[in-house]
Amino acid sequence: MKRVYNFSAGPAVLPEEVLKECANDMLDYQGSGMSVMEMSHRSKVFDNIIKTAESDLRKLLNIPDNYKVLFLQGGASQQFAAVPMNLMKNKKADYIVTGQWAKKAFEEGKRYGDCIAVASSADKTFSYIPDCKDLPIREDADYVYICENNTIYGTKFKELPNTKGKILVADQSSCFLSEPVDVSKYGLIFAGVQKNVGPAGMVIVIIREDLISEDTLPGTPTMLKYKTHADAESLYNTPNCWCIYVCGLVFKYLLNNGGLSEMKKRNEEKAKILYDYLDSSKLFLGTVEKESRSLMNAPFIVNPNVITDPARKEELEAKFVKEAKEAGLENLKGHRSVGGMRASIYNAMPKEGVIALVNFMKKFESENL
């Protein structure tokens, strides 16, 4: 068996320990005589899996009692509609547009009400997080929306926006559980788990209880009402049982490894290794303003000021991705909309993987410059 260092943005690397546990449980989950994929979501065994997953997540994030945790399907993208359908009382929402995912949420929001972009970093191809200390938030805005970590562009809010008392909604898909957060500052957090937490097919929603009500936009499907799932404790219909189980194992793994403050420390250490090298490199260039750099997703390109022929630049980038793959460093191609390269270095990427990447980059630089 050979495992590679997988820098995919998502679905992404999972802790090896967790994968082994899954393998071990596969045919007979804890004496039940069946796998988690085969059991009823109403069974006692599964009830214990989902309850334990929730209570471990609450411990990890220190989630206050007045917040509900929901394990839902439809991915993060479905929340782009669910959020306005459930939270728009005045049919007005203010969005901070810092990349493609925020833009998609913004466009979807416009289908349901009057949405405006109160800030954007589109002017510099989303390479920074705008100053959000004093934005023109509307008096009657139902919420302020952010994408906290921009998976494609590699930026992260280091400070939450001043929402002027309005509810903050955050898409945390690619930074969820990468560091401690103060949940009480948010009205709603959601995260597609396939980035930093588990397998594809689930989104976790953490929502303040007073925001859950029957009072949704007319026509809101039953399955998109937070109340439906909150009342049924995420078992209104068949949930993604397998995903809940694997996420539960990851939560245990995180708790056993020092929790989120330890993850933050490790993630800062890993990101520093990569960014320090990028800052000293002649051939490679990080594309994000330093103050806005994500700990999770690091995009970089061949420096166009050094390799001035665009065709040669592209050729070198393709060569880099190909040779990296041959060296056991996979999925380093940048998002199709940005080009270049991107290394996603989520919780489960060991420090050794980042060191191997930097060593490879140094070698590539010396051979190609």
What residue ranges bind ligand PLP (CB under 6 A)?
Answer: 10, 75-77, 101, 147, 151, 171, 173-174, 192, 195
Shortest reach from residue 142's CB to ligand PLP, in Å = 20
Which residue in 92, 94, 101, 225 is the catalytic one? 101
Residues 302 and 281: their CA atoms lie apart, in Å, by 10
Q: Which residue type, as a one-letter code, is found at position 353?
A: G
CA torsion angle 184 188 88 121 (round to 10): 100
Does the bond joining 11 to the residue before it have cis omega, within 30 degrees of 0?
yes
**Known catalytic residue: 101?**
yes
CB closest to ligand PLP, residue no? 75
CB nearer to ligand PLP: pick between 144 and 283: 144
Burial 105-130 (b: 16+ CB within 10 A, else e): bbebbeebbbbbebbbbeeeebbbbb
Shortest reach from residue 324's CB to ligand PLP, in Å = 22
CB nearer to ligand PLP: pick between 101 and 245: 101
* Sign of the torsion angle spanned by Cα atoms 335, 340, 345, 348: positive
Shortest reach from residue 364's CB to ligand PLP, in Å = 27
**Known catalytic residue: 231?**
no
| Tokens encoding 166 | 């309005």
SS3 call for 119: strand
| Tokens encoding 181 | 């957060």
Residues 29 and 12: their CA atoms lie apart, in Å, by 24
Shortest reach from residue 52's CB to ligand PLP, in Å = 24
CB nearer to ligand PLP: pick between 29 and 226: 226
CB nearer to ligand PLP: pick between 32 and 77: 77
Do the Cβ atoms of 238 and 201 come closer than 8 Å? no
**Known catalytic residue: 195?**
yes
Residues 218 and 261: their CA atoms lie apart, in Å, by 42
CB nearer to ligand PLP: pick between 70 and 147: 147
CB nearer to ligand PLP: pick between 156 and 313: 156
Strands 114-120 and 92-97: parallel
CB nearer to ligand PLP: pick between 163 and 294: 294
Chain centroid to CA 105: 14
User: C-alpha angle 331/196/172, rounded to 5°?
Assistant: 115
Which residue in 56, 94, 142, 171 is the catalytic one? 171
Which residue in 68, 92, 195, 270 is the catalytic one? 195
Do the Cβ atoms of 319 and 313 come closer than 8 Å? no
What is the full DSSP assignment across 202-219? -EEEEEEGGG--S---TT
Shortest reach from residue 173's CB to ligand PLP, in Å = 4
The residue whose two tokens read 């009480």 is 184
Catalytic positions are: 101, 171, 195
